[in-house]
């Protein structure tokens, strides 16, 4: 029997489908409509988490899709706003580099036989908050044709992004150590059985 997708996961899929709409609106100079689409995507993020918790319908698919949708939306936002010269290149580089390192680390752990159960950290939540705030301020600057001003928000987004990246790397090292510890135990048991 195939698992049902569920409302929370449908909202996450909707968020992913809104990404090309959002990017197209920005590129075709419709910042007001892009702002509305970004807000709608952010709302689906809040709703899918609420629905999953309220109805106890958390799933492995949702645990994979939800952070992936967030990463795709934020990466697309930073790349597009940097391309449009609304945000400075360095902030996009920090955000994207951290995400690339995390994805490569997750693949490495998976290839080495480890299991990944990442726990959101306080710095990860703060990084997401300040990244979303940076995008929103960039969209507002674009909509009102103002220069992007609040440098402290950029620095906070960058700082929490780096700190959260380091926290996730430490978590990944623990997962790898746990996987190697299980391998050593299995090898010991095999040696005893021979």
Distances (CA, A) of 27 to 21, 67, 79, 83, 164: 10, 25, 11, 9, 30
Is there a contact between 26 and 80 (Cβ–Cβ < 8 Å)? yes
Question: Tens digit of pLDDT for each residue in 12-29?
Answer: 889 999 999 999 999 998
Average pLDDT, the chain: 81
pLDDT category at 177 given cuts 50, 70, 90 is confident
Q: In this predicted structure, what is the pLDDT of residue 2?
A: 45
- Please count the residues of the chain: 194
Q: Tokens 């620095």 label which residue?
A: 155
Q: In this predicted structure, what is the pLDDT of residue 125?
A: 86
For the chain, percent of residues with pLDDT exceeding 90: 33
Whether the per-residue pLDDT at 188 is higher than 60: the answer is no
Question: Tens digit of pLDDT for each residue in 57-110?
Answer: 666 666 677 778 888 999 999 999 999 998 999 999 999 999 898 888 878 777
Q: Give CA torsion, residues 15, 17, 22, 27, to 10 deg.
A: 150
Q: In this predicted structure, what is the pLDDT of residue 192?
A: 44
């Amino acid at each position: 029997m195939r698992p049902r997708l569920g409302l929370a996961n449908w909202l996450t899929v909707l968020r992913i489908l809104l990404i090309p709409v959002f990017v197209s609106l920005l590129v075709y100079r419709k910042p007001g409509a892009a702002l509305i689409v970004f807000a709608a995507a952010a709302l689906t993020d809040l709703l899918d988490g609420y629905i999953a918790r309220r109805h106890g319908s958390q799933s492995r698919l949702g645990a994979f899709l939800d952070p992936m949708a967030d990463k795709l939306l934020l990466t697309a936002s930073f790349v597009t706003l940097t391309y449009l010269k609304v945000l400075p290149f360095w902030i996009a580089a920090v955000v994207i580099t951290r995400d690339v390192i995390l994805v490569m680390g997750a693949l490495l752990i998976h290839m080495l036989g480890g299991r990944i159960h990442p726990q959101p950290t306080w710095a990860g939540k703060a990084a997401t908050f300040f990244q979303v705030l940076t995008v929103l301020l960039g969209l507002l600057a674009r909509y009102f044709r103002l220069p992007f001003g609040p440098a402290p928000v950029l620095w906070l987004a960058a700082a929490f992004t780096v700190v959260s990246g380091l926290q996730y790397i430490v978590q990944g090292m623990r997962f790898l150590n746990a996987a190697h510890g299980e391998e050593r135990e299995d090898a010991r048991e095999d040696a005893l059985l021979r």
